[in-house]
Amino acid sequence: MDAVNETIVEAGSASSGTASGMSGLTGRVLVCSGGRYESQANAQIRESIMDGWADCFGEDNVTAVHISAAASSIRILKPTIVFAIGSYLPESTYFGEVCREAKKIGAVTVFWATEDPYEQDANYRIADDFDVIFSCDRWGHNFYQRERVFHLPLAASPKLHYGEIEADSEKTIDVLFCGVAFTNRKDIVRNLLPVLRDLNIKIVGPGWGELGIGFSDARIEKSQLVELYRRSKLVLNLGRSLSFENKRFVIAPSTPGPRTFEAALAGAFQVFHEDTHEIRRYYSADEIPVFSNRVDFERLVVTYLDNNELRVKMARKAQARTQAEHLYKHRIQYALRVLRDEGLIG
């Protein structure tokens, strides 16, 4: 079994899929979330996860609320599963109340930590409340001092992220990156500047503007990304390295973030900066190539920048892989299997 296929089994990227394929599951699911930044509130990830649950339970049986309204919603809706997602920092006072209300009606409680490993010092705030915890980070999930903790990567949503790959579409951007200029990202990009200076680049996000031509502090809405991907030859994938809360555990992320899966589904040709070999659990070398230094990156530019046919071929393979294995419905199917294996649902 190769590395990619090994992850398919472990991360629950089931091939068949929907509610009827999950032994006739019935009931109602309440998805609740809140974020470190209230304006963001994990809205897009919540919507994506809602789609995954709808595939398994039916759209009419899935409801989403903010975590602050979850306890009252449980009393009214009487869900079978209460599925909380996001950060466990600012809304920690609600979690105990939510789980107490769920237990009164016999609902299973689940938390999917989508900000791991950046808040690991604070995981005690949820450790004792939920029946099962899923962590989006393979390494970070080892830092919960309790049983029933599982690794569950984030994913992509066809409704939000899919883009048709057109072999003859005009590519006006040589290298694209969209995201906040965290320190580790700036270090990587500064190292690549001798190569980037000769290219038509678009690197946008808070903190980039100071680096000059081709860089901008503009914020790009996720809804605009699919079009930017369509216009770009190479899309840089740079992980973030920061810790919102960590002082005891300074944990480097291991699992690729959601942007990897989203960009692949959108049809982007990604070049991935690897800190670990974790990317190979999800995509092969002929789907997403990697680099770890300027020499590697320059080699990728020489190989792929002017080879549209090869870029399109690899982007299509990465997109097909994502459609088959890395959608939110695949993650929810795995979560349901875990709940069943743990004896929490029938």
Containing 174, the helix (H) or strand (E) segment is strand 173-178
Are 36 and 87 in contact, with CB atoms under 8 Å apart? yes
Q: Is the pLDDT assigned to residue 9 strictly greater than 60?
A: no
Spatial distance between the Cα atoms of 4 and 321, rounded to a whole number of angstroms: 10
pLDDT of residue 346: 82
Using pLDDT thresholds of 50, 70 and 90, give the confidence band for residue 35. low
Q: Is 5 contained in some domain?
A: no
Express each pLDDT in 82-113 by its tens digit: 999 877 655 556 788 899 999 999 999 999 98
pLDDT of residue 224: 87
Is 172 in the same domain as 302? Answer: yes
**Most confident listed range (55-59, 110-114, 132-136, 310-314):** 310-314
Express each pLDDT in 180-232 by its tens digit: 998 889 999 999 999 999 999 999 999 999 999 999 999 888 778 999 999 99
Q: Is 262 contained in some domain?
A: yes
Closest CA to 330 of 49, 132, 44: 49
* CB-based contacts of 273, cutoff 8 Å, min separation 6: 188, 236, 237, 238, 239, 290, 291, 292
Parent domain of 61: 10-155+327-341
Using pLDDT thresholds of 50, 70 and 90, give the confidence band for residue 128. confident
Q: Is 268 contained in some domain?
A: yes
Is 176 in the same domain as 301? Answer: yes
User: Where are the strands (E) in 276-341, listed by range?
Assistant: 290-291
Q: Which CATH number fits the domain that encloses residue 301?
A: 3.40.50.2000
Is 170 in the same domain as 317? Answer: yes
User: Which position has the token pair 């080892």?
Assistant: 142
Spatial distance between the Cα atoms of 338 and 326, rounded to a whole number of angstroms: 17
Is 138 in the same domain as 167? Answer: no
Q: Which CATH number fits the domain that encloses residue 118?
A: 3.40.50.2300
pLDDT of residue 250: 60
pLDDT of residue 38: 43
Q: Is 255 contained in some domain?
A: yes
Spatial distance between the Cα atoms of 266 and 283, rounded to a whole number of angstroms: 15
Is 204 in the same domain as 297? Answer: yes
Is 179 in the same domain as 146? Answer: no
Is 209 in the same domain as 190? Answer: yes
Q: Report the number of distinct structural domains present in the chain.
A: 2
Q: Is 1 contained in some domain?
A: no
Is 20 in the same domain as 149? Answer: yes
Is 187 in the same domain as 300? Answer: yes
Q: Is 101 contained in some domain?
A: yes
Closest CA to 153 of 167, 170, 134: 134
Mean pLDDT of all residues belonging to the chain: 84
Spatial distance between the Cα atoms of 76 and 134, rounded to a whole number of angstroms: 26
Express each pLDDT in 238-282 by its tens digit: 987 655 555 555 666 678 989 999 999 999 999 999 866 689 999
Express each pLDDT in 139-152 by its tens digit: 776 767 778 999 99
Q: What is the dihedral of CA 267, 268, 274, 275, to 10 degrees?
A: -90
Is 136 in the same domain as 218? Answer: no
